[in-house]
């Protein structure tokens, strides 16, 4: 695999750091990180220089891609500092709720902007990132973006930017719903009088093991569910309650709808 071209990562926290780790596995030719935190300094190496401020970048540095991984609330203060790359680089923004137009306006000019929504399993290279390419993005820039984002998991593209609101609600927040289920399973064990250590380890291993089974199997989640649901048995009894009056599907649909609307409200 050929090394990535010159890159500039703006913000190397949880998500930026996960991306960097994925790129490093494939090789970096010349990369800079701008991040003022002391933790970011530990990411420096022969392949990566870490700077506290954009003003410290070498004047001859012209990245092919600038990855924007700062908190969305920092965007207005941070992005204008990168305006000088607006005509040459593709900007890949993972900032939640920042639209292509919003990012372009903060940079000035007519930059090529990809808006992407990853999720936290990126830290295990098991994420899913859904992306939208703004109108100024060339085929080559989109290919590079896909390569960069796929270093931490699967990548899919949408053709309409508003779809990213539902993506944010489902896949950005998705790990939280799975972790909530893990918490609920642990609590259920405690409620049934199981020792706390057993309740904890069972809840974790159910989720870990089920995910591994899903990953290895060619069956649908529905088929895997049916496989553990004997008619008239214990699981069937639990599912009967969970699905009575469509309770679980209804509340889940309403929750995702609320999160999607919240994403729309926050989008600028």
Note whether 148 binds ligand NAP by CB under 6 A.
no
Distance of CA 143 to CAs 52, 55, 245, Å?
30, 29, 46
Q: Which residue from 7, 20, 28, 95 is in contact with ligand NAP, where contact means CB under 6 A?
A: 95
Per-residue contact string for residues 53-92; x = within reach of ligand NAP by CB under 6 A: ----------------xxxx-x---x--------------
Our CB check for ligand NAP shows the closer of 96 and 181 to be: 96
Note whether 117 binds ligand NAP by CB under 6 A.
yes
Name the nearest CA neighbour of 70 among 61, 82, 57, 87. 82
Q: Which residue from 10, 31, 43, 203 is in contact with ligand NAP, where contact means CB under 6 A?
A: 10
Q: Which residue from 15, 65, 89, 128 is in contact with ligand NAP, where contact means CB under 6 A?
A: 15
The residue nearest ligand NAP at its CB is 13
CA count, 13 A, side-chain hemisphere, 84? 11
User: Structure tokens of 6?
Assistant: 């010159």
Q: Which residue from 94, 148, 167, 203 is in contact with ligand NAP, where contact means CB under 6 A?
A: 94
Kindly give, in sequence order, each residue whose CB lies less than 8 Å from that of residue 49, ignoring residues fewer than 6 positions away: 31, 32, 33
Note whether 102 binds ligand NAP by CB under 6 A.
no
CA 122 – CA 166 distance, rounded (Å): 19
Burial label for 81, CB within 10 Å (0-12, 13-18, 19+), is middle
Kindly give, in sequence order, each residue whose CB lies less than 8 Å from that of residue 127, ignoring residues fewer than 6 positions away: 18, 118, 119, 120, 121, 152, 153, 154
User: Structure tokens of 171?
Assistant: 């896949």
Minimum Å distance from CB 167 to ligand NAP?
10
Q: Which residue from 13, 147, 182, 200 is in contact with ligand NAP, where contact means CB under 6 A?
A: 13
Note whether 96 binds ligand NAP by CB under 6 A.
yes
**Residues 27 to 56 in contact with ligand NAP, rule: CB under 6 A:** 34-37, 40
Our CB check for ligand NAP shows the closer of 219 and 261 to be: 261
Minimum Å distance from CB 236 to ligand NAP?
35
Our CB check for ligand NAP shows the closer of 134 and 172 to be: 172
Beta strands in 111-198 (DSSP E): 112-117, 127-133, 153-157
Note whether 145 binds ligand NAP by CB under 6 A.
no
Residue 65 forms beta bridges with which residues?
7, 90
Distance of CA 187 to CAs 63, 173, 248, 255, Å?
50, 21, 18, 21
Can you give the binding site for ligand NAP, defined by CB under 6 A?
A: 10-16, 34-37, 40, 69-72, 74, 78, 94-96, 117-120, 172
């Amino acid at each position: 695999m050929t090394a990535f071209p010159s890159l500039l990562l703006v913000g190397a926290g949880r998500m930026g750091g996960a991306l960097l780790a994925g790129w490093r596995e494939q090789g970096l030719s010349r990369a800079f990180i701008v991040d003022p935190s002391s933790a970011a300094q530990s990411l420096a190496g022969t392949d990566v220089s870490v700077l506290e401020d954009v003003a410290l970048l070498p004047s001859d540095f012209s990245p092919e891609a600038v990855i924007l991984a700062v908190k969305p609330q920092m965007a207005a203060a941070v992005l204008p500092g990168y305006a000088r790359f607006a005509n040459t680089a593709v900007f890949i923004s993972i900032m939640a709720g920042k639209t292509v137009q919003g990012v372009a306006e903060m940079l000035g000019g007519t930059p090529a902007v990809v808006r992407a929504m990853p999720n936290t399993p990126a830290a295990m290279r098991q994420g899913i990132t859904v992306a939208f390419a703004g109108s100024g993005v060339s085929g080559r820039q989109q290919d590079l973006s896909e390569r960069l984002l796929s270093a931490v998991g699967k990548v899919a593209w949408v053709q309409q930017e508003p779809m990213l609101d539902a993506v944010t609600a489902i896949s950005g927040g998705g790990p939280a719903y799975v972790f909530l289920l893990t918490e609920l399973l642990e609590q259920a064990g405690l409620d049934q009088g199981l020792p706390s250590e057993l309740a904890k380890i069972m809840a974790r291993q159910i989720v870990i093991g089920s995910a591994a089974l899903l990953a290895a199997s060619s069956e649908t989640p529905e088929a895997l569910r049916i496989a553990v649901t004997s008619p008239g048995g214990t699981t069937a009894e639990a599912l009967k309650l969970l699905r009575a009056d469509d309770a679980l599907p209804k509340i889940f649909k309403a929750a995702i709808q609320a999160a999607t609307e919240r994403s729309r409200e926050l989008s600028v």
